[in-house]
A and B are shown apart, each in its own frame.
Chain A
Amino acid sequence: MTAPRPILRMSGIGKEFPGVKALDGVDFRLLPGEVHALMGENGAGKSTLIKVLTGVHGVDAGEIELDGRPVAFSGPLAAQQAGISTVYQEVNLCPNLSVAENVFIGREPRRLGRIRWKEVRRRAAELLAGLDLDIDVTLPLSSYSLAVQQMVAIARAVAVEARVLILDEPTSSLDTGEVAQLFRVMRRLKEQGIAILFVSHFLDQIYEISDRMTILRNGRLVGEYPTAELSQVELVAKMIGRELADLEELEGRPPARGGEPLVEARELGRAGAIEPFTLTIREGEVVGLAGLLGSGRTELARLLFGADHAGTGSVAVAGRPAGLRTPRAAMGHGIAFCSENRRAEGLVPDLTVRENLILALQAARGWTRPLSRRKQDELVARYVSALNIRPADPEQLVKNLSGGNQQKVLLARWLILEPRLLILDEPTRGIDVGAKAEIQRLVAELSDGGMAVLYISAELEEVLRLSHKVGVLRDRRLVAELENDSGLTTEVLMETIASGARS
């Protein structure tokens, strides 16, 4: 077998941030016409490798060759011009610009220097239609959900004639249909000989789409393998450096002991966001919410947290009517909401891990009662180790953490409050397999301890594994409430989501 010449070769790459060796002697090859998965735990150095390649960060050691020629890009612009098109981990678009403009900005079709807006809109709509996305491209990007934004970012990346396409966790907020659509596009590009670098923490997706993979651990290269020759178990072992024994341990959850109703929503609704719904969440109960993107999962959660005003209906907390008009009021009732949009609504990037963790707790206590430093350190240390936040340094700035570790900090920040009802919107997005199991176990533990949890996730297996009860949403309506007994499987859930039937 004669291997084709790699389009991209990185050798001996080293990158050091103050206090962290993010990459150390990493070799990487990308062949034309392949989908190559870059694998590793949170903080393994995947995004850093991509950023070093595209010139966002400079390299400390090593060489990069594109098509046999040594290159060193001064920034994303230069990388783009050389034919490397990248979607970075977080959605990096301009929320104030229209969707069409976000797709084309920097390379708008022009005549005599004048941007042809009609053409921009037409081609953007066309491109998005190719991704099965039928939206008004003239609206500002900020009016759409994270998932749509992610699709727009992908559309932007595939719009150019690139030789190398890099997708850093593009699927983290997409649902199955959209992922399938993305994979169709990726296969088409692959046939055209484009090399694709793909990062994801969803192992099923990796096995479905990738041809080969490179595994990193703690900034070092573990190895390069053809996907077909490495089983999932072996892959996970190589990623985390040990066997992952107890992923399945949660299977067969004990039924919730019929706790007292904690939060009762009656005919709660908001025009344009979600139709009136009635939902009871009991103490110690995990209620899962399943449904496609845009089915109203997040909207429902936001109403319960008071982040949006309800148009109709009422809420009772612990039997007493409660006006949840603001998040503050909701927090006063012991309700916490861990948002899916960590970039916009969650963390303060310029503060340290410790400060971010303490922030919400301190706010809840009131600023006149400061937490002692010892107590802070104790709490922080507990959650840093419980969630395995890495690097385990509480004084590290949050913006310097890898994407998955930021997600863990956000989660820990709400857990530290010990709320009565914890609303988790996609808590395991972008989190590696090991940590995911960790978080699921924590949720189970908390609910055993009496905390109620509203668990929103696009991953049906996860919802099933954790919840006592599953609410199914469709077209902004709560269409079914299913007890999670032995009869409930992902297939049944899928069917309910698809048919919208009340069972």
Chain B
Amino acid sequence: MSAALLAGRRRLARTIPRKYVPVLVTAGLFAAMFVAGGVRYRGFADGQVVLNVFVDNAFLLVVAVGMTFVILTGGIDLSVGSVVALSTMISATLLTGHGWPAPAVIALVLAVGAALGLAMGAIIHYFEIQPFIVTLAGMFLARGLCYTIGTESISITDPAFTALAQTKIRLGGGLWISPSVVVALVVVAVAAYVLHYTRLGRDVYAVGGSEQSALLMGLPVARTKIAVYTVSGFCSALGGVLLSFYMLSGYGLHAVGMELDAIAAVVIGGTLLTGGSGYLLGTVLGVLVLGLIQTIISFEGTLSSWWTKIFIGLLLFAFILLQRLIGARRR
């Protein structure tokens, strides 16, 4: 009997390849949290609750997409939060202070973010310096640049930005999303396509699997490593633009610690910090889980918002342990 049970388990294990397990666990967790919230709180089991998670975290999602690229190569990017803040600051000062048109501002901000990423990637690769150190320097640099623009919060009154901030895209049935969500989902779709269907994406996985091997296999390692930091810089800048829509202000203290949220989302989404394994869908689920924790805590009402951090901390522990277990049973 137990043999039959074992065989059954093995069959199940074979139908679900191990590489999907972390993503499925996160999906299961998300579903469980949603159901639990629905049972406990009145008005929770509503489609709009999930959509609001998207609306409130669109910028984080975009930033986490860039972070996923970096972590898949086995790197890390600590500069994303600061680049987000810098982007809001540049947007606000150019729009409000200098009266630039919105499209030009957005283009410039994206270019600045990508350039910062490119520079960090090049330093990491050509000088063989730890990504941790280089992006830590990038983090201080970008945050410092914010204050050279201004130490106060600058509000945005540009009509295009305010329009985008207030637009609700109605989905019918009383459900709605913001334009930022659409942008974020497009970014996710494009990134998932790149990771799965293009050479750049596969090289990202290969470099994460073994940089030395990738080099000897004749893959463009330098290009790939620089590209992922560029992508991350670009995504941070875009995240910054979305955050400016959301906040309608630029401020040097925006997005403090967002790099850690992004890393947490990626890890909870099942991507290995050592690189080479993980999916973008996981990252989306990771962001949703983080967002849903916040939602639950706000529904609870009496809990302090610090509980968000505690739950995220516990979740991270749980997921890192899970990855260990899966890794250990590889053979």
User: Chain A interface (Cβ within 8 Å of chain B)?
Assistant: 56, 75-77, 79-81, 86, 88, 92-97, 101, 105-106, 108, 110, 113-115, 117, 140, 142-143, 156, 271-272, 308
Contact = CB atoms under 8 A, between A and B. Distances in A.
Contacts of B276: 94, 96-97
Contacts of B196: 115
27 contacts: A56-B215, A75-B215, A76-B216, A77-B219, A81-B218, A93-B210, A93-B213, A94-B205, A94-B206, A94-B209, A94-B213, A94-B214, A95-B209, A96-B208, A96-B209, A96-B276, A96-B277, A97-B205, A105-B202, A105-B219, A106-B217, A110-B199, A113-B198, A114-B197, A114-B198, A115-B202, A308-B331
A76 B198 contact: no
A80 B209 contact: no
Contacts of B203: 105-106
Contacts of B220: 77
Interface in B193-234: 196-199, 202-203, 205-206, 208-210, 212-220
Contacts of B6: 271
Nearest to B193: A114
A142 B330 contact: yes
Most buried by B among A95, A96, A101: A96
The 9 closest A-B pairs by CB, nearest first: A94-B209, A96-B209, A96-B276, A77-B218, A92-B216, A80-B218, A92-B213, A76-B218, A94-B206
Contacts of A97: 202, 205-206, 209, 276
A294 B246 CA distance: 59
Most buried by A among B19, B196, B208, B331: B331
Contacts of B330: 142-143
Interface residues of B, number: 27
Most buried by A among B208, B212, B213: B213
A76 B331 contact: no
Nearest to A120: B202
A143 B276 CA distance: 15
Contacts of A272: 10
A114 B6 CA distance: 41
Contacts of A93: 210, 213, 217
Contacts of A96: 205, 208-210, 276-277
A145 to B, nearest CB: 11
Nearest to A142: B330
Contacts of A143: 330
Nearest to A89: B216
A272 B10 CA distance: 10
Contacts of B208: 96
Given A76-B215, A80-B218, A106 B197 contact: no
Contacts of B216: 56, 76, 86, 88, 92
Contacts of B199: 106, 108, 110, 115
Nearest to B10: A272
B191 to A, nearest CB: 15
Contacts of B197: 114-115, 117
Contacts of A114: 197-198
A308 B214 CA distance: 30
B135 to A, nearest CB: 23
Given A97-B205, A97-B206, A142-B330, A92 B217 contact: yes
Contacts of A156: 217
Contacts of B277: 96
A106 B205 CA distance: 12
